[in-house]
Amino acid sequence: MHEYQAAQLLADYQVPILLGKPAFTAEEAIQAAQEIEAGQGEAKGLVIKAQIHAGGRGRGTFRESGLEGGVHLVDDASRIVELAPQMIGNTLVTKQSGAAGKPCNALYVVEQVAMARELYVAIMLDRSRAAPILICSSIGGMGIEEIDKEYIKTFEIDPSVGITEDIVQQAVDAFDVPAENQESCAQAVRGLYNCFAENEATLVEVNPYALLEDGRLLVCDTKVNIDDSSEFRHKELFALDDLTQKDPSEVEAESWELNYVKLDGHVGCLVNGAGLAMATMDYIKFNGGDPANFLDVGGTSTVERVFEAVRIINEDEKVDSILVNIFGGIVRCDIIVDGVIKAMRELSIDKPVVLRIKGTNADIAQETVANAGLPIYWENTVQDAVQKVVALTA
């Protein structure tokens, strides 16, 4: 979720957030700034933030305009007249965005506040413990990764019980806030957990969670990630997804229920099962090659889905060869081969394709390949297949 979306979600759980408004044009940003100024009652200043799916915005650079920084503190709305056109519609490159950067199609204009202290709080899914964990720190801000561990407190939450009042109180103690702030702090911790649990999140992070000079505790920046597997239960949340933040090929792959991530190598990979896909990528690296993608066709593949998988891989200009590594338990090997052959014929693919296929109907698949008359290499082991595809790529 973008920051403005995550902040609004937290507000729905009675977690206090900054006064702010999203904007999708420079004109809307100026109008939002004027409305926030009117709501403040007195001049306090504003912050304009680029909305992209990557961290490090404050130290990023807009490629087209050359503007330094994706987050700017300004005295009043007049400065936003100058900044907004240099941000909206431009590409912001940060340490976390990769060299390609991310398109900035939205801005978040918020009130500027005076912070007395910056705190940190997050709830995340710890898969090793099969439970959510609550992380609290009396020190937050941009240097959270470097602070001493003695300031960070971690609490495991039993998902069958939820957050208890004992854990809430320990969290409040960890923040080391004044007595008059403890109840509002406790309410925020409860709200964060309820947001995490009810929306099936994998992460709800607030940094900084700020104690202001006027005594209030406010969320000043937040990040929320929702478990992809829960989409069918939270369609309204997934409808908020900004697809411009993703690689177009990854978006297209999702429409075919393919798990695809584009990488920088030259060996295209078509595999069934995430574990086998990761192992296959390692094999390629160990043998001197570089995988061009992660692609898991899953266990319920059809000829059409395999066809689209091969098409997406082939359209990557960096791909020089394609490795198909299938262990057919649920998925039928002959369906995989039919999809690959259909793609090679209809798309006129002339890149070499190497198959290592074992499992259900593998004998039928091998016979089909033998009779296809196409540049397809059949190998019996993963090692042989990887060595062949790397050699063909070199």
Q: Is residue 3 part of a domain?
A: no
Instruction: Kindly state whether residues 100 and 147 are assigned to the same domain.
Output: no
Encode pLDDT of 211-251 as tens digits: 999 999 999 999 999 998 899 999 999 999 998 998 889 88
Helix (H, G, I), strand (E, B) or coil at 126: strand
What is the pLDDT at residue 42? 67
Whichever domain contains 58, its CATH number is: 3.30.1490.20
Q: Which residue type sits at 286?
A: F
Task: Report how far residue 86's alpha carbon sits from residue 269's, in angstroms, rounded to the nearest whole number.
Answer: 39
Q: What is the mean pLDDT of residues 167-187?
A: 95
Report whether pLDDT(41) > 80.
Answer: no
Q: Is residue 324 part of a domain?
A: yes
Report whether pLDDT(155) > 90.
Answer: yes
What is the pLDDT at residue 43? 61
Contact 106, 53 (CB under 8 A): no
Residue at token pair 């973008």: 2
Residue at token pair 């994706």: 70
Catalytic residue selected from 4, 120, 193, 260: 120
Task: Report how far residue 333's alpha carbon sits from residue 327's, in angstroms, rounded to the nearest whole number.
Answer: 8
pTM of the model: 0.79
What is the pLDDT at residue 240? 94
Q: Is residue 10 part of a domain?
A: no
Whichever domain contains 294, its CATH number is: 3.40.50.261
What is the pLDDT at residue 394? 67
Residue at token pair 């409860």: 190
Q: Is residue 327 part of a domain?
A: yes
**DSSP letter (8 states) at residue 194:** H
Residue where one domain finishes, among candidates 56, 77, 111: 111
Residue 8, burial from CB neighbour count under 10 angstroms (0-12, 13-18, 19+): middle
Give the chain's mean pLDDT. 94
Q: In 3D, which of 75, 84, 73 has the Cα closest to residue 37? A: 75
Q: In 3D, which of 378, 302, 358, 364 has the Cα closest to residue 334? A: 364
Instruction: Kindly state whether residues 125 and 80 are assigned to the same domain.
Output: no
What is the pLDDT at residue 123? 98
Whichever domain contains 146, its CATH number is: 3.30.470.20
Report whether pLDDT(152) > 80.
Answer: yes
What is the pLDDT at residue 341? 97
Instruction: Kindly state whether residues 106 and 121 are assigned to the same domain.
Output: no
Instruction: Kindly state whether residues 271 and 309 are assigned to the same domain.
Output: yes
Task: Report how far residue 249's alpha carbon sits from residue 216's, in angstroms, rounded to the nearest whole number.
Answer: 45
Residue where one domain finishes, among candidates 237, 270, 287: 237
Report whether pLDDT(142) > 90.
Answer: no
Report whether pLDDT(389) > 70.
Answer: yes
Catalytic residue selected from 205, 209, 308, 379: 205
Q: Is residue 9 part of a domain?
A: no
Q: Is residue 14 part of a domain?
A: no
Beta bridge partners of 74: 46
Instruction: Kindly state whether residues 277 and 265 are assigned to the same domain.
Output: yes
Residue where one domain finishes, among candidates 111, 126, 158: 111
Instruction: Kindly state whether residues 163 and 226 are assigned to the same domain.
Output: yes
**Integer CA distances (angstroms), 27 to 24, 34, 106, 217, in order:** 8, 11, 12, 31
What is the pLDDT at residue 67? 97
Task: Report how far residue 224's alpha carbon sits from residue 230's, in angstroms, rounded to the nearest whole number.
Answer: 14
Encode pLDDT of 343-359 as tens digits: 999 999 989 999 999 99
Task: Indicate the pLDDT class of residue 311, thresholds 50, 70 and 90.
Answer: very high
Q: Residue 325's domain spans which residues? A: 247-393
Instruction: Kindly state whether residues 105 and 119 are assigned to the same domain.
Output: no
Task: Indicate the pLDDT class of residue 172, thresholds 50, 70 and 90.
Answer: very high
Catalytic (active site) residue 346? no
Encode pLDDT of 79-94 as tens digits: 999 999 999 999 999 9
Encode pLDDT of 5-25 as tens digits: 999 999 999 999 999 999 999
Encode pLDDT of 120-131 as tens digits: 999 999 999 999
Q: Is residue 254 part of a domain?
A: yes
Instruction: Kindly state whether residues 252 and 218 are assigned to the same domain.
Output: no
Instruction: Kindly state whether residues 52 and 130 are assigned to the same domain.
Output: no
What is the pLDDT at residue 82? 94
Report whether pLDDT(117) > 70.
Answer: yes
Report whether pLDDT(149) > 90.
Answer: no
Q: What is the mean pLDDT of residues 269-285?
A: 95
Instruction: Kindly state whether residues 162 and 220 are assigned to the same domain.
Output: yes
Instruction: Kindly state whether residues 222 and 279 are assigned to the same domain.
Output: no
Percentage above 90 pLDDT, the chain: 85
Instruction: Kindly state whether residues 255 and 387 are assigned to the same domain.
Output: yes
Catalytic (active site) residue 367? no
Q: Is residue 178 part of a domain?
A: yes
Domain total of the chain: 3
